[in-house]
Chain A
Amino acid sequence: SQQGEEDPQALSIQEGENATMNCSYKTSINNLQWYRQNSGRGLVHLILIRSNEREKHSGRLRVTLDTSKKSSSLLITASRAADTASYFCATDNSWGKLQFGAGTQVVVTP
């Protein structure tokens, strides 16, 4: 079973626009992470936000976490064609087991 669910399933935007995707989860967590996957192979870690943090930035990425609503959002600002990928959230329970959502497919057109 999957712990996180991303929304939307797919997102198509133009270069320069912002992309926002959301993740909802079911049980309490230690932290929440976002990953990117290109061409269906290995995932790359983007950012980790701890359960006691509410917002975190890394370059053009901004992540928020609302533990009361069990949800997180990932914002990519000023998107580029190279941002075209699938984005996954992953939650860590107290035992360190990472569970992933179904992902959001983002297409950025020039």
Chain B
Amino acid sequence: GAGVSQSPSNKVTEKGKDVELRCDPISGHTALYWYRQSLGQGLEFLIYFQGNSAPDKSGLPSDRFSAERTGGSVSTLTIQRTQQEDSAVYLCASSSYGGTEAFFGQGTRLTVV
């Protein structure tokens, strides 16, 4: 595709369930980022993948959060045992390499009820 694609666009889940959020970056981009944004707030860094290097996981808020990037392309962010405070928009971005112009997907709005 021409841009970064995220799915689903919206997800409503019950507290305690696991969810998987998907990000398809722009083809050939070596850097991929995940951020979380609560209503009216800034972007909270979660995780950063750069090529084949070990990812920077320093922003993951708890061990319920994990992410992987298979084959240097598609990435999945998994949240286990969701809590109400996990409700937010999760944004994915990719760039040709780290630190250059980042292209964002439209995000996944997660609502935990």
A pairs with B? yes
Q: Quick one: which of B33, B41, B44, B106 contacts A98, CB cutoff 8 A?
A: B33
Interface string of A12-48 (1 = CB under 8 A from B): 0000000000000000001101010000111111001
Q: Quick one: which of A35, A42, A96 contacts B31, CB cutoff 8 A?
A: A96
Give the docked Cα–Cα distance between A102 and B56 (Å).
Answer: 21
Nearest B-chain residue to A90, judged by Cβ: B102
Contact A42 B50 (CB under 8 A): no
Query: B residues within 8 A CB of A101?
Result: 42
Interface string of A38-66 (1 = CB under 8 A from B): 00111111001000000000000000000
On chain A, which size bracket covers the interface?
A: 20 to 34
Contact A40 B105 (CB under 8 A): no
Contact B56 A88 (CB under 8 A): no
Give the docked Cα–Cα distance between A40 and B100 (Å).
Answer: 22
Nearest B-chain residue to A97, judged by Cβ: B48
Interface string of A65-102 (1 = CB under 8 A from B): 00000000000000000000000101011011111111
A-B contact count (CB 8 A): 69
Query: A residues within 8 A CB of B35?
Result: 100
Contact A40 B39 (CB under 8 A): yes
Contact A88 B42 (CB under 8 A): yes
Q: Quick one: which of B4, B31, B45, B105 contacts A99, CB cutoff 8 A?
A: B45
Contact B107 A42 (CB under 8 A): yes
Contact B101 A45 (CB under 8 A): yes
What residues of chain A have their CB less than 8 Å away from a CB belonging to chain B?
2, 30-31, 33, 35, 40-45, 48, 88, 90, 92-93, 95-103
Name 29 A/B residue pairs within 8 A (Cβ), A-sorted: A2-B44, A33-B102, A35-B102, A41-B89, A42-B91, A42-B104, A42-B105, A42-B106, A42-B107, A43-B104, A45-B101, A88-B42, A90-B102, A92-B98, A93-B99, A95-B50, A96-B31, A96-B50, A96-B97, A96-B98, A96-B99, A97-B45, A97-B56, A98-B33, A98-B48, A98-B98, A98-B102, A100-B42, A102-B42
What residues of chain B have their CB less than 8 Å away from a CB belonging to chain A?
4, 31, 33, 35, 37, 39, 41-45, 48, 50, 56, 89, 91, 93, 95, 97-107
